[in-house]
A and B are shown apart, each in its own frame.
Chain A
Amino acid sequence: MSVRAVRGAAGVAAFLLVAELVVRFWLAEGVVFPPPSLVLVEAALLLADPGFLAGVAATLLNWALGLLAAVAVAVPVGVALGALPAAERATRPLLEFMRPIPSVAIIPLAILLIPADVAMKASVIVYAAVWPVLINTLYGMREVDPLAKDSLRSFGFGPLAVLWRVSLPSAAPFVATGVRIAAGVALILAVSAELLAGGSSGIGVFVIQAGSGNRTDLMLAATLWAGAAGLVANTLLVAAERRLFRWHEARRGVAE
Chain B
Amino acid sequence: MRRTIPALLLATTLALTACGGAEQASTGGLEKPVIKVGALPIPDAAALYIARSKGYFKEEGLTVEPITIQGGAVALPQIKSGALDISHTNYVSTFLAAGRGEKIKVVGDLYGAAPNTFDLMVAKDSPIKAVADLKGKTILVNTLNNIGTLAVTSTLKSAGVAPGEVKFIEKPFPDMGNALAAGQADAAWLTEPFITATQVQPGLRVLADTMTGPTAGLPIAAWMATGEWVAKNPKTLAAFQRAIGKAQKLAAGDRTVVDAIIPTYSKIDQAAVTKIALGTFPTDLDPARLQRVADLMLEFGYLKQPLDVKTLLVSPTG
Contacts and interface: CB of A to CB of B under 8 A. Distances in A.
B67 A28 contact: no
B274 interface: no
B178 A33 contact: yes
Contact of A199 (B67, B77, B174, B202): B67
Interface residues of A, number: 33
Interface string B63-78: 0011111100010011
- Interface size class for chain B? 35 or more
Given A29-B181, A31-B181, A196-B70, A213 B81 contact: no
A208 interface: yes
B197 interface: yes
A214 B193 contact: yes
Interface string B35-70: 000101110000000000000000000000111111
A209 B40 CA distance: 8
B97 interface: no
A242 interface: no
A205 interface: yes
B68 A198 contact: yes
A198 B77 CA distance: 13
B115 interface: no
A29 B202 CA distance: 9
Interface stretch (A107-115, A135-143, A164-172, A173-181): A107-115
Nearest to B66: A200
A237 to B, nearest CB: 31
Given A111-B74, A198-B70, A30 B81 contact: no
Given A112-B81, A114-B81, A197-B70, 15 more contacts: A29-B181, A31-B182, A108-B74, A111-B81, A113-B81, A199-B67, A200-B67, A208-B68, A210-B267, A212-B267, A213-B41, A213-B267, A214-B193, A214-B268, A215-B267
Interface of B: 38, 40-42, 65-70, 74, 77-78, 80-83, 123-124, 172-174, 177-178, 181-182, 193-194, 197, 201-203, 266-269, 272
12 contacts: A32-B201, A112-B80, A116-B83, A117-B67, A197-B78, A198-B70, A200-B66, A208-B68, A212-B266, A213-B41, A214-B197, A214-B272
